[in-house]
Amino acid sequence: MQPTTHHASTMMMNQVDLRSLVSKHGTPLYVMNETYIRHQIRLFKASFIHSKIQTTIFYASKAFLTLAMAQLIHEEGLHIDVVSLGELMTVIKAGFPSEKILFHGNNKTSLELDVALKHHVGYIVIDNPFEYENLINKVTQTQKVMVRINPGVEAHTHEYISTTKHDSKFGMSIYGQDTVELIQAITSHPHLEFCGIHCHIGSQIFDPTSFQKEARLLLEMIHQLKVSHNINVTHLNLGGGFGVRYTHEDDPFDIQVHFKHILDYIQDTCDELGLDYPHVSIEPGRSLVAQAGVTIYSIGATKTTYSNKKFVFVDGSMADHMRTALYQAKYEAKILERPLAAIEQTYAIAGKACETGDILIHECPLPQPHVGEHLVVFTTGAYHYSMASNYNRLLKPAVIFVSEHDARVVVKAQTIDDLLAQDVLV
């Protein structure tokens, strides 16, 4: 299904006219297609199954998390992973079953570990020996744990979202003796149940063989732990990073085809190495929500510079659209009132923040834009709301969920009172 449909004078999300949302809620405005998210989840669930291997899908909540989103994930039967106290308490407040929560991150605070243990989360992923020492000083009853492994797989993605280079901050090296020593310490502790190994090789990955390389290295490690140290690994978490289409340049792989290939490859490799089949998990985030989201802006001005560069200024900024400045990410957009109009020029879409680098889209083909019209930026469902800030004291937009026929506010637009609420005058 398509997240939006385009007509001569408007865009629709399911049966909801996006112009009506602008009239009611203003701009900037995050809009999420709830029906599309549920469709994506069901597609992943139907694709990530195997006749001989148990599988689980954890939603990577860092991509997009609100109370409503946590409820949706639970309704659709997924597990969830969190990386901070804020994410953890959001899913708990939403009523998410604690046994379906996986808690990871490279520097969990003492408080975060306390709260995770208090709520009996399903799994804690240990990143380093210091975290292990902190955990064993707190744990008083059985806690399932995994260890994050860095296999050194080249994921062919942006430097900032590649997480398994040998100098990455995440996890323990697959080649390190200290990694084996950490796992041995865990297995000998009376209150820690070592379940398996966790890995995440990066984001926006378009080559499915990267996951086969990852699986091969991790299964060889599992084999070595069994043969050399009599340690059984029952769970293998491959992480996420499945690429999505932002522009015509992107070519994501077909999960229905390649999930089967990956699971078959794991089966064959286990047979080759004489291993029992582990319980295999993945952690999609962006691939479930990115294309479900659009951001709507009002066009406030246009400008042609002395060098003939053409700008369109919108009422948002890098504060609500960080990925272009951070990752040099590319996006596509259309004018809400004329989505089918012929392209006339290429424009730079710039925000209102006081930064030269506050560019949302560097090259955006559009018909001649008019002040007062609205620009719809596509594929903003992941890492937009979750990365939003108050830079320049700009306010965070509302978030709207659109079902088949209705729209509802799931995050209210921030107000000036909200912005000032934590400030203290001395």
Of 199, 270, 354, 364, the active-site residue reads: 354
Phi, psi of 115, deg, nearest 5: -70, -40
For 114-180, what is the HEC assignment?
Answer: HHHHHCCCCEEEECCHHHHHHHHCCCCCCEEEEEEEECCCCCCCCHHHECCCCCCCCCEECCCHHHH
State the Cα angle at 363 between 377 and 252, rounded to 5°. Answer: 65
Tokens of 285: 């985030």
354 annotated active-site = yes
SS (H, E, C) the chain: CCCCEECCCCEEECCEEHHHHHHHHCCCEEEEEHHHHHHHHHHHHHHCCCCCCCEEEEEEHHHCCCHHHHHHHHHCCCEEEECCHHHHHHHHHCCCCHHHEEECCCCCCHHHHHHHHHCCCCEEEECCHHHHHHHHCCCCCCEEEEEEEECCCCCCCCHHHECCCCCCCCCEECCCHHHHHHHHHHHHCCCEEEEEEECCCECCECCCHHHHHHHHHHHHHHHHHHHHHCCCCCEEECCCCECCCCCCCCCCCCHHHHHHHHHHHHHHHHHHHCCCCCEEEECCCHHHHHHHEEEEEEEEEEEECCCCCEEEEECCCCCCCCHHHHHCCCCCEEECCCCCCCCCEEEEEECCCCCCCCEEEEEEEECCCCCCCEEEEECCCCCCCCCCCCHHHCCCCEEEEECCCCEEEEECCCCHHHHHCCCCCC
Q: If we measure between CA atoms, which residue out of 110, 103, 105 comes closest to residue 138?
A: 110
The catalytic residues are: 354
